[in-house]
Structure 1
Amino acid sequence: MTVQTDQLLAEIREANLSYLMLAQNLIRADRAQALYRLGVSEDTADLIAALSPAQMLKIASGNTLLCRFRFDDDIVWGLLTNHGKTAANDATSRLHASILLASRHQEAA
């Protein structure tokens, strides 16, 4: 492997560990919000909440990124990035995007 590949894999492992730690903290602090924000099922939330630090390190050490973008919809991306919009419309666009994402979370549940 090249130095660049090694660096990329190290960054993936770091992102995985950060994601698992954040997910576990969110689930323990406010389960309902965590399910929505993470886009995970009840069963997955149970599993993440029960992970030991050693288990999190082992899972995070893989070379596959654990988190992913939850949407691939151009409308949502457009709302989130506000291409061509003024700052006044920023809050409205983000609210609209949140509503779209929440409805998709309900459909998936």
Structure 2
Amino acid sequence: MQNEQILAEIREINLSYLMLAQSLIRSDRDQALFRLGLSEEAADRLAALSPAQVLKIASSNTLICRMRVDDDLVWTLLTNHGKGTAGNDAASRLHASILMAGRHQEAA
């Protein structure tokens, strides 16, 4: 992949993320804080951004969102699908969600 293509894709991801974040915050703030892993202050700032500000921020060469799954246990739970029964799959995903929710609470 060429450097310019990578940068264009980063800008596209940034724009999509900002638009999704604003939409979630405006429709269900509590769910947005949980699902996006945002603080109250970050949600306030995102919700207040004008379309011009969103475009300016999105044009950055750096991803503005980050990978929240940085724990081996959570990765194992999320990627262990298909190795057991469907019930185990659902339980593993639920367990991973609970772990990530706890980390969101710790960060907030």
Q: Report the TM-score when normalising by structure 2.
A: 0.94
CA RMSD of aligned residues (A): 1.3
Distance in 1 (alpha carbons) for counterparts of 2:20 and 2:10:
15
Distance in 1 (alpha carbons) for counterparts of 2:58 and 2:101:
28
Deviation at 1:70, TM superposition (A): 1.1
Which one of 70, 80, 97 corresponds to residue 72 of structure 1? 70
Partner of 1:90: 89
SS across alignment from 2:2: helix
Partner of 1:28: 26
Q: Which runs of 5+ in 2 are unaligned?
A: none
Distance in 1 (alpha carbons) for counterparts of 2:6 and 2:37:
25
CA 1:87–1:57 in 2, change beyond 3 Å: closer, same or farther? farther
Alignment of 1:1-109 (within 5 A): 4-82=2-80, 85-88=83-86, 89-109=88-108
Q: Report the TM-score when normalising by structure 1.
A: 0.93
Distance in 2 (alpha carbons) for counterparts of 1:55 and 1:100:
34
Contact persistence 2:81–2:89 (CA under 8 A): no
Distance in 2 (alpha carbons) for counterparts of 1:102 and 1:70:
11
Q: Which runs of 5+ in 1 are unaligned?
A: none
Q: Which moved more, 1:75-84 or 1:91-100?
A: 75-84
Report % sequence identity.
76
- State how many pairs are aligned: 107
Runs of 4+ in 1 over 3 A off after TM superposition: none
Deviation at 1:71, TM superposition (A): 2.7
